[in-house]
Amino acid sequence: MLKRLILLFALCVTPALAEDEQVVLGLSHDRVAITATFDGSEILIFGAVKRETPIPSGPPLEVIVAVAGPSSPVMVRRKERKLGIWVNTDSVLVDLAPSFYAVATSAPLDDILSDTEDLRYRISIERAIRSVGAAMHIRSAQDFADAVVRIREDEGLYSIREDTVAVDEQTLFRTSIAMPADLTEGDYTARIFLTRDGRVISQFETTIDVRKVGLERFLYNMSRQQPVWYGLMSLVIAIAAGWGASTAFRLLREN
């Protein structure tokens, strides 16, 4: 009976302790419009820590901000040189990989987040990619997931920006996330984590809507919903552009 009472007390007290510090978040804008002149965007993420008690003593409060684009499977192939030419050999389907992933932190990530918490919340780039496994005959299967990370880091789609979250008096925080021009359309998830001594004590999640608008939206929808008409329209435009260019050059030569 005593053990049951102790367990009941622990269950009642733990949520209260976990809610001593909570995230109150703000965004400079929660919608990104992709137009013909879109060359990237920067989103300001700011917030405060809501408390019912004084600031705890001990390790300082740290903040991690992770923004992820829509996830989808990615087929990765390994090339090897055989008989003087490069050919595809092994291939692995990486189950889920975000199209965009950026992590901003108030201190080095390894110092403010334990491996256990990273495994639980999937915050680091390596943990954000889910690869269940590969066929037994494929050697170094992890290299395929690492290749996705390396390629998208080179393209500016994946990044870890340490020491870029400013935290004032362990209460106010702010950072900015730069988003490249070649964004994938969809819902982007922004997650904010408060940590102390490597442990996540609070988290908050919100959504950023990234959509094509105007003519770009019309053409995008048409290419998928009416591919025949889209192809015919593209052909007509190409013919008209070629005829117009040839006419212009002919007039220039005659003059």
| Helix/strand/coil (H/E/C) assignment for every residue in the chain | CHHHHHHHHHHHHHHHHHCCEEEEEEECCCEEEECCCCCCEEEEEEEEEEECCCCCCCCCCEEEEEEECCEEEEEEEEEEEECCEEEEEEEEEEEEEECCEEEEECCCHHHHCCHHHHHHHCCCHHHHCECCCCCCCCCCCHHHHHHHHHHHHHCCCEEEECCCCEEECCCEEEEEEEECCCCCCEEEEEEEEEEECCEEEEEEEEEEEEEECHHHHHHHHHHHHCHHHHHHHHHHHHHHHHHHHHHHHHHHHHC
Is the confidence at residue 79, as pLDDT, over 80?
Answer: no
What mean pLDDT is predicted for residues 3-31?
55
pLDDT tens digit string along 7-17? 333 444 444 44
Of residues 149 and 132, more confidence is placed in: 149
The mean predicted confidence, pLDDT, of the chain is 79
Percent with pLDDT over 90 in the chain: 33
pLDDT score for 5: 36
pLDDT category of residue 2 using cuts at 50, 70 and 90: very low
Of residues 19 and 251, more confidence is placed in: 251
